[in-house]
Amino acid sequence: MNYAVVMAGGTGKRLWPLSRKNRPKQVLKILAGQTLLQQCIERLLPVFDFRNIIALTNAAYLDLVRETAPQLPYENVIAEPVVRDTAGAIGLAAAILNKYDANATMAVVTADQIIEPAEIFQTALSDALTYINQNPDELFTFGIKPTFPSTQLGYIKYSESNTHPDCRNKILTIEDFKEKPDITTAEKYLESGSYLWNSGMFVWKAKTILKNLAEFLPDSTQPLQRIKADWDSPNQKQTLDEYFPRFPKISIDFAVMEKAKSVRAIELDCRWLDMGSFTALADIISSDTNNNIVVAVNSELLNCKNSIILTEQKDHLIAGIGLDNIVVAHTPDATLICPVDEIQRIKELLALIEKHSGEKFL
């Protein structure tokens, strides 16, 4: 059977103060009143039964994710007791699915991406599921057609493109995974036409990814076996709390994808955005006549341009005069004001805040 696994555990520090330790970016209502998590699940529903959609999140977000995604069965929202990066989350989901369905096919998506139009993604996802169900020993990913030489995204290189009788998209053979490049290398990637952005989304058999984890990350085997054995038993929580922290903290790209031999992909030619920072809003929200991005019910801007203004509070007015290239992000207990060009230093700022105020504002 086919299942979707939604990765919903990221904190989103670069969206502080809207995003906090107890309120991650995937539950922020800054996109026409919808959360990123809600949009993600809606994209999946034409392909998967809601009973076959699983959300993985941090223990601190468990109740919040269940509240944000009430259509998912209670037991389908699973909490990781500690953060173990994407390899840990994927391994956990694969072990659980494999216990109940030895032939489970799982699609791994993230809750913090914008993908438009959804129909292009849904068609590609259906093709990937078809391909993997016919080729169960292979791994599948999705590449994004690059539109500029990004230095903030990883890349995947493909060597050939083939048609498949049961798929509407061409199936690419992946040659290599590349880390975030410098600008010169990124320009070469874009010019070559043989590289795609790494989307961080995958499709594979649960048993196949577990086999690959055992081969390339052997320290993951015992924790996953113990968790699988005790899942849905009186010892479930105790075993999870004891053994999941023993899982190596590493991404699935480093752990498996860079080493695996049979990796295929589909190129997604659509609007795709990893919602990781305030500047990303410029790609999904229309600007006003002065190139301001405004997410606020009440705002008055006088002689302001090229700025980003946000608040989720409907009864709060943000007023500005003469702002140029400035971010203003308001919440009830903290407000961020900084030049757009300095927004990448937000993690430095959070370190100072923690040093002087503890976790009160984090």
Q: Where are the domains of the chain?
A: 2-274, 282-357
> What is the per-residue pLDDT for 50?
93
Q: Which tokens belong to 65? A: 């994710």
Task: Provide the whole-model pTM.
Answer: 0.86
- For residue 264, how many C-alpha atoms fall within 13 Å in the half-sphere facing its CB? 27
CA dist., res. 257 & res. 265, Å (int): 12
Angle, alpha carbons 108-113-118 (nearest 5°) = 85
Q: How far apart are CA 316 and CA 298, in angstroms?
A: 6
Q: Are 91 and 220 in contact (CB under 8 A)?
A: yes
| Inter-residue long-range contacts of 235-240, CB under 8 Å, 24+ positions, other chains counted | 240/81
pLDDT of residue 221: 95
Digit-coded pLDDT (tens) for 326-353: 999 999 999 999 999 888 888 899 999 9
Low-confidence ranges of the chain (pLDDT < 50): none
What is the CATH code for 2-274? 3.90.550.10
Distance CA 181, CA 257 (A): 18
Helix axes 206-216, 221-230, angle to 10 degrees: 140
- Which positions ≥6 away from 101 have C-beta within 8 Å? 1, 3, 206
